[in-house]
Amino acid sequence: MSRKKDKPRKSAAEAFSRRDFLKGAGVAVSGGLMVGEQVAGATPPEGATQVLGPGAVPITLKINGRPHKLNVEPRVTLLDALRNHLDITGAKKVCDRAACGACTVTLNGNPVYACAVLAIEAQGKEIQTIESLTTGGKLHPVSAAFVEHDAQQCGFCTPGFVMAVKAFLDKNPNPTMQDIEKGLGGNLCRCGTYVGVRQAVLEAAKAMKGGKAHA
Ligand code: FES
Ligand code: FES
């Protein structure tokens, strides 16, 4: 099937923003992964490269400010490491192929599809999941705005959307509606909650600047 046939299904702006999302994520899924003795995240000394796997290797992930040690095969994605090895299940597995955004978490503040990042590649980075956004029973302004504007139905896309919105607003505190549409083009909602989501983003932007106290 040619790429031309896909074009009418999404606007040029949306297509652009989805590519931007992936670029920002810096994702890479590789077949045979070669990393250094200190595993991923560190530059191996010259000549010290070794092939890891296929068996499990010990890694440490810094998630929501806390280090977690686990043993995973090098092929395990960050999403599966979170959900299946650490029981951190906020990020959802929907497409499992970097297409929908339901698994969005942030790496060093940038939104990434956790299903498209290998767990060992996420070592040495600050991983933030939706679980980090509620402290002491208080919702983050983005989560609160989603509730207030009915920006979810089945909720499968919602944790990913909330993380994408937080990352977006951290870098774009005064977005226009056009910025929002483009900036969130990497997340899809099968229930069609886009109107509520966009309203929630505007509301959260205000709240995060002290315009309205949600949290
Ligand atoms: S589950 Fe990762 S992008 Fe859809
Ligand atoms: S609320 Fe159902 S997929 Fe978005």
> Closest-lying ligand to the alpha carbon of 154?
2
pLDDT averaged per 10 residues in sequence order, the chain, 215 residues: 44 50 48 39 66 91 98 98 98 98 98 98 98 91 96 97 98 96 96 97 92 48
pLDDT value of position 46:
74
| Ligand 1 center–CA 123 separation, angstroms | 20
The residue type found at 94 is V
- Please report the pLDDT score of residue 26 as a whole number: 44
Alpha carbons 136 and 38: distance in angstroms, whole number: 36
* pLDDT score for 47: 73
For residue 91, give the nearest of 195, 10, 187 by alpha carbon: 187
Per-residue pLDDT at 17: 61
Dist. CA 198–CA 215, nearest whole Å: 19
Q: Whose CA is nearest to atom 4 of ligand 2?
A: 189
Q: How far is the CA of 95 from the centre of ligand 2 (A)?
A: 13
Q: What tokens appear for 127 in the block?
A: 């991983």
Model pLDDT, residue 136: 86
Q: Give me the pLDDT at residue 7, please.
A: 45
CA of 15 to the centre of ligand 1 (A): 16
Q: The pTM is what?
A: 0.80
Domains of the chain (ranges, CATH numbers): 11-132 (3.10.20.30), 133-206 (1.10.150.120)
Atom of ligand 2 nearest to the CA of 161: 4
How would you label 180-209 residue by residue, b for 16+ Cβ within 10 Å and e otherwise?
A: bbbbbbbbbbeeebbebbbbbbebbbbbbe
Q: What is residue 6's predicted lDDT score, i.e. its pLDDT? A: 43
Distance 79 CA to ligand 1 centre (A): 9
Ligand 1 site-directed mutation target among 22, 80, 89, 95, most atoms within 8 Å of CB? 95
pLDDT digits (tens, 9 = 90+) for 29-72: 443 333 333 444 455 667 777 788 799 999 999 999 999 999 99
Nearest partner of 116 among 204, 29, 206, 3, judged by Cα = 29
Q: Count of CB atoms within 10 A of residue 161's CB?
A: 29
Residue with tokens 């940038």: 110
What lies within 8 Å, CB to CB, of 6 at 6+ separation is: none
- State residue 148's pLDDT score: 97
